[in-house]
Amino acid sequence: MATIFGERVEALRGLMRENGWDIVVLTGSDPHGSEYPAARWKQVEWLSGFTGEAGDIVVTMDHAGLWTDTRYFIQARRQLSGSGIELHKLRVPDQVPIPEWLASLGLDEPVIAVDGLCQSVSAVSALQAAVPSARIVSVPDLLSALWTERPAVSSTPVITLGEDLVGESRSGKIHRLRKWLVLQGADAVFLSALDQIAWVLNVRGSDVAYNPVVISYLLVTLEDVSWFVRKDAYADLDSETADSFSELQADGVVIRDYDEAEFALGALTDEGVDRICLDLSSLNYALQEAVDPAVEALPVSSPVPLWKAVKNTAEVDGMREAHLEDGLVMEQFLYWLSRSAGRVNEWEAACELGRLRSAVSGYRGDSFETISAYGPSAALPHYSTPVSGSSLLEARGLYLVDSGGQYLFGTTDITRTVPLGPCTALEREDYTLVLKGHIDLAMAVFPRGTAGCQIDALAREPLWRAKRNFGHGTGHGVGFYLNVHEGPQDLRQNFNATALEPGMILSDEPGLYREGMHGVRHENLVLVRPVGDSEFGSFLGFETLTLCHFDTSCLEVSLLTPDERDWLNAYNQHVFDVLSPRLPADVTAWLLDVTRPV
């Protein structure tokens, strides 16, 4: 039986016939290359019903397909049911990405329509390279003709962060960027990635759910700084935003309307720009087409992600404070949970955790949608907890909660898998093997210059020996009161040459998922730090920032090595020592009991 999403696909095909398009390619991103788009740009969700963060759609006259990765296979099969949209799997050995799939169709001179605002230049280049005979048509806001109740572009209050919080002034960051421009032999750089702009200008907003960013573009030349933001939405400025704009203008930032960015790129010679640096991985195709043809465009990788990833002393101190406050929240939540199993459901548990976080001074919202998943629900790595119809948390088996907070002084991301009562032998074994992988990575020591992909196997080896595995990455970078996912560093099997550097913060989160049964994930955030030098060079390791005990009640202790057991006992003791002075007496007594050595 066809769903409303099947009807929307057919309506899109009608639009294709009217315009002579053979293929439409839609991305799950936005004009800024964001992982998490604002509501206006959730095109894939509107067309297909798929709510995962990573998914692109291709529609032809006789086929509609969604491409997504291993994190979302179970979710996609459920959400696409009845839509007529077929799941295409990525990050699997036999994957066929969209460009290669289009090439396999063997079409002669097809017309491929894309929403040029939401396709990066590099993505469109990949399509053209795969199908050289294709004519690619950029149609900004392609779905607007069908999506009659499409949300407007978000505009929320803008705040600024002082040097005491972030450790470096915006003037200092702009100066850094200009020095980089000189080394590139360029006059200007255009930034469209929202977290990069927020970092450079020391601004934050909430235009995108869970991401404290402002929808905008930034043009930095050797003489001027132009910030393109939705001024029309701030016609009646709230006092906080007005103060923020005044502060930015005092530092030489010219505030221009968001829609002027296209015109500014088309008139660069009038600004004295001869050569401009463009990061084609985040620059959208429509804006690239608007660049003044008299100006030489230099394709580069923006230096900002790496600068942003290496936290300074003030940022590290703030992140430690955030994890202290978040640890107090988590332990109170787990204490509440220990007395609530059998009486609350997944949604109610998520609400209680949110209530506890919201009481922290400096809390600015969650860093992503809380994943509160019991039993089979936890087999979906990015489970979306339903408001109604959530599963009851029974007093048995495993419950997984993955959550995080945005605080003025830092960002957190933590996952705990919690035994709610008796567990099966398989649950106990899976729980322990994943924890072994987490601990082995946390204990890692490696030479300076090592990339995350070179040590990813440390977290997988205990699982591999038992012929088990997980499909997602082991770790991602985390921003400072910014996006919970950031690069360029990561911990995953895919090749990434970015070396881990002191000051980087990453997650350590191996997992294991059994469809229809249970899921396990153990996640802490870790800070890369020096651990010493020898005649063989300089070595780095990890400092665990997250403060929340690991439940040992369902451990198969015999599977732990002595070093792993020592690490676990020392970590749980450290959590108790740091948090107990600030916890209520009843929570402290409970925490003392659950952190006893194994």
Q: What is the pLDDT of residues 100-150, one digit of tens each?
A: 999 999 999 999 999 999 998 989 999 999 999 999 999 999 999 999 999
Label the pairing between strands 253-257 and 225-229.
parallel
- From 121, 113, 124, 115, select the one nearest 147 (Cα to Cα): 115
For range 201-206, the mean pLDDT: 96
232 pLDDT above the threshold of 70: no
Q: Evaluate whether 527 touches 542 at the Cβ level (below 8 Å).
A: yes
Per-residue pLDDT, 321: 98
Q: Please say if the pLDDT value at position 210 is more than 80.
A: yes
Mean pLDDT confidence for 79-96: 89
220 in Cβ contact with 177 (< 8 Å): yes
Selection from 556, 528, 561 nearest residue 542 by Cα: 528
**Rounded percentage of the chain residues whose pLDDT exceeds 70:** 99
Domains, the chain, in order of start with CATH, read 4-145 (3.40.350.10), 159-303 (3.40.350.10), 310-594 (3.90.230.10)
Q: How far is CA 400 from CA 195, 440, 517, 534, 548, in A?
A: 29, 21, 13, 42, 14
Cβ atoms within 10 Å, residue 141: 17
Tens digits of residue pLDDT in 279-312: 988 999 999 999 999 999 999 999 999 999 999 9
Measure the CA–CA gap between 539 and 533, rounded to whole angstroms. Answer: 6
Beta strands in 148-232 (DSSP E): 159-160, 188-191, 203-204, 216-221, 225-229
Residue 19 has a pLDDT of: 96
In SS3 terms, 475-528 reads as EEECCCCCCCCEEEEEECCCCCCCECCCCCEEEECCEEEECCCEEEECEEEEEE
The phi, psi pair for 273, rounded to 5°, reads -95, 125
- Chain mean pLDDT for the chain: 95
Give the pairing type, strands 486-491 and 524-534: unpaired
pLDDT band at 234 (very low <50, low <70, confident <90, very high): low
Q: What is the pLDDT of residues 166-184, one digit of tens each?
A: 999 999 999 999 999 999 9
The predicted structure's pLDDT at residue 352 = 98
Least confident of 3-12, 496-505, 508-517: 3-12
Residue 78 region by backbone torsions, left for phi larger than 0, else alpha for psi between -120 and 50, else beta = alpha
* Phi and psi angles of residue 519, each rounded to the nearest 5 degrees, phi first: -135, 150
pLDDT at 2 over 80: no
Residue 236's pLDDT band, with cuts at 50, 70 and 90, is: low
Asked if residues 68 and 52 have their Cβ atoms less than 8 Å apart, the reply is yes
What is the gyration radius of the CA atoms in the chain, in angstroms? 25
CA distance 594 to 462: 25
Report pLDDT for 1: 41
Distance CA 357, CA 411 (A): 12
If pLDDT is split at 50, 70 and 90, which confidence band does 233 have? low
Region of residue 437 (phi > 0: left; psi between -120 and 50: alpha; otherwise: beta):
alpha
Token reading at 313: 């002393």
Nearest CA to 193 among 278, 254, 276? 278
- What are the φ/ψ torsions at residue 307 (nearest 5 degrees)? -60, -45
Residue pLDDT, tens place only, 425-465? 999 999 999 999 999 999 999 999 999 999 999 999 999 99
- Give the Cα separation of 248 and 420 in Å (integer): 51
Task: Kindly report, residue by residue over 506-546, the tens digit of the pLDDT.
Answer: 999 999 999 999 999 999 999 999 999 999 999 999 999 99
What pLDDT is stored for residue 92 in this prediction?
Answer: 84
Residue found by looking up tokens 């006992």 in the block: 569
The yes-or-no verdict on residue 77 having pLDDT over 60 is yes
User: What gap in Å lies between CA 16 and CA 146, rounded to an integer?
Assistant: 12
Percent of all residues in the chain with a pLDDT value above 90, rounded to a whole number? 86
Q: Tell me the mean pLDDT in the region 150-161.
A: 90
Q: Cβ-count burial of 312 within 10 angstroms (0-12 exposed, 13-18 middle, 19+ buried)?
A: middle
What φ, ψ does residue 89 adopt, rounded to 5°?
-90, 135
Which DSSP string corresponds to 293-311?
Answer: TTSEEEE---SHHHHHHS-
User: Is residue 101 helix, strand or coil?
Assistant: helix
